[in-house]
């Protein structure tokens, strides 16, 4: 299911990121902050288990997260969404999926994969700022499922309808979270209005 997280702070910060004059430092900082704000919605349904603790006053039955959380950035732009999420879930493990997009066919190619143990017991959060054709996200979700992941969420900053449709078709069990559903993809595979090449803007490359 698609969930567009509608929040004034997210809209404000995303607009700063979309501006072409925004530099690397501010782009990264706003991405971190939006990642943190999105965590609140992304984690709303995380299961809890009761634990017995002692407060300075008395015995108390509190809660802790019942499942391990694994964040899976799709390299390289996905790395830009890790810090903001990890700040709020500091026990999260980080897997890595290395993929690049063939600029002509727009097809994803995998060059690196690394996962923690027992993905089947975890909440697996695949992250990539831009959900364009959906090719990389569908491939990354295929890969984590092959490793045993059963509870998978996809978190992106900006999505195109084409990408959302592709993920929903290939992985109807995966919830997709966006800060914005944009208008369309252009003939070069860029999201419109979008924010340009997220990887280049995060890392200051061209
Ligand atoms: N990847 C990006 O970085 N930007 C887009 O607009 C589409 C894919």
Distance CA(167)–CA(95), nearest Å, equals 20
CA of 64 to the centre of ligand 1 (A): 37
**Confidence (pLDDT) at 109:** 86
Q: What is the pLDDT of residues 117-136, one digit of tens each?
A: 999 999 999 999 999 999 99
Question: For the chain, how many residues are written?
Answer: 206
133 labelled ligand-binding: yes
Q: Domain span at residue 186? A: 2-203
Residue pair 200/25 in contact (Cβ under 8 Å)? The answer is: no
Quickly state the pLDDT bin for 102 (edges 50, 70, 90). confident
202 Cβ inside 6 Å of ligand 1: no
CA of 156 to the centre of ligand 1 (A): 11
Which helix (H) or strand (E) segment holds residue 91: the answer is none
Which helix (H) or strand (E) segment holds residue 170: the answer is helix 161-170
With a cut of 80, say whether residue 101 has pLDDT above it: no
Q: To the nearest whole number, what is the mean pLDDT of the chain?
A: 96
Identify the DSSP state of 130. Answer: E
198 Cβ inside 6 Å of ligand 1: yes
Q: Which among 192, 194, 199 is the best mutation to test ligand 1's pocket, defined by most ligand atoms within 8 Å of the CB?
A: 194
Q: Which among 191, 205, 206 is the best mutation to test ligand 1's pocket, defined by most ligand atoms within 8 Å of the CB?
A: 191
**Confidence (pLDDT) at 182:** 98
28 labelled ligand-binding: no
Distance CA(93)–CA(66), nearest Å, equals 15
In this structure, the residue with its CA closest to atom 2 of ligand 1 is 197
Number of domains in the chain: 1
Distance CA(11)–CA(53), nearest Å, equals 40
Cα separations in angstroms, 12 against 17, 20, 28, 146: 9, 15, 15, 38
Q: What is the pLDDT of residues 162-184, one digit of tens each?
A: 999 999 999 999 999 999 999 99
What's the mean pLDDT in 54-68? 97
CA of 53 to the centre of ligand 1 (A): 47
Distance CA(126)–CA(141), nearest Å, equals 7
**Confidence (pLDDT) at 7:** 96
100 Cβ inside 6 Å of ligand 1: no
Residue 131 contacts by C-beta under 8 Å, 6 or more apart in sequence?
Answer: 137, 154, 156, 158, 159, 160, 163, 164, 167, 176, 178
**Confidence (pLDDT) at 105:** 80
CATH code where residue 172 lies:
3.40.50.2020
């Amino acid at each position: 299911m698609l969930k567009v997280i509608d929040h004034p702070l997210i809209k404000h910060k995303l607009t700063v990121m979309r501006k072409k004059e925004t530099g690397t430092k501010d782009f990264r900082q706003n991405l971190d902050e939006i990642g943190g704000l999105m965590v609140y919605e992304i984690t709303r349904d995380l299961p809890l288990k009761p634990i017995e603790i002692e407060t300075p006053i008395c015995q108390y039955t509190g809660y802790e997260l019942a499942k391990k959380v694994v964040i899976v950035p799709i390299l390289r732009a996905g790395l830009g969404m890790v810090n903001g999420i990890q700040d709020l879930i500091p026990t999260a493990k980080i897997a890595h999926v290395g993929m690049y997009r063939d600029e002509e066919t727009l097809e994803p190619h995998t060059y690196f994969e690394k996962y923690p143990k027992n993905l089947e017991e975890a909440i697996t959060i695949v992250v990539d700022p831009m959900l364009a054709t959906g090719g990389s996200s569908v491939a990354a979700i295929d890969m984590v499922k092959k490793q045993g992941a059963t509870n998978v969420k996809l978190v992106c900053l900006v999505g195109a309808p084409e990408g959302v449709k592709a993920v929903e078709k290939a992985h109807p069990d995966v919830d997709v979270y966006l800060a914005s559903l944009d208008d369309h993809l252009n003939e070069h595979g860029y999201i419109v209005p979008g924010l340009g090449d997220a990887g280049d803007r995060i890392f200051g490359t061209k």
